[in-house]
Amino acid sequence: MSTIRITKQFKFETGHALYGYDGKCKNVHGHSYKLSVTVSGKPITDSNNVKFGMVIDFGDLKKIVKEEIVDLFDHATVFNQNTPHIELAKELKDRDHHVILVDYQPTSEMMVIDFAQKIKSRLPSNIKLHSIKLSETDTSFAEWFASEN
């Protein structure tokens, strides 16, 4: 049986700030992120299986990505926990805002690395994460490929 890739796309809104950056992105701002998650595997050949012919049910992939990423990051503000933004983060949290503190600079590049680890840890053993594409604008995106990591 052939190995097949399938892709599920997601959208979420997230704010962030890049501490120490020398441009506008040092300011708190947000993006309408688009996330594409591609996995690979062999379609199920057991005709008695309710998921016969599927690599993975799109609904199962959606559940993983929503729980690990979308539901967490949507309408959140992300800050590096090791920067002075920690004071702003505390103030926002005290005002009941959804704040995520990460141990990296919250760039698209670092976010795809984080997302890849989270998704890989939840996939069934017969399904491999092939790639992730995170677009922060229509013309700017970061990609992660298993073959390069």
Q: Is 67 a catalytic residue?
A: no
Q: Is 75 a catalytic residue?
A: yes
Q: Is 98 a catalytic residue?
A: no
Which of 25, 98, 109, 143 is catalytic? The answer is 25
Which of 68, 85, 130, 136 is catalytic? The answer is 136
**DSSP-derived pairing of the beta strands 29-41 and 141-145:** unpaired
Q: Is 85 annotated to bind ligand? A: no
Q: Is 130 annotated to bind ligand? A: no
53: left (phi over 0), alpha (psi -120 to 50) or beta: left
Which residues have CB under 8 Å from 90's CB, separation 6+? none
CA gap 85, 80 in Å, rounded: 7
Which of 67, 75, 91, 97 is catalytic? The answer is 75
Active site residues: 25, 75, 136
Annotated binding site for Zn(2+): 16, 29, 31
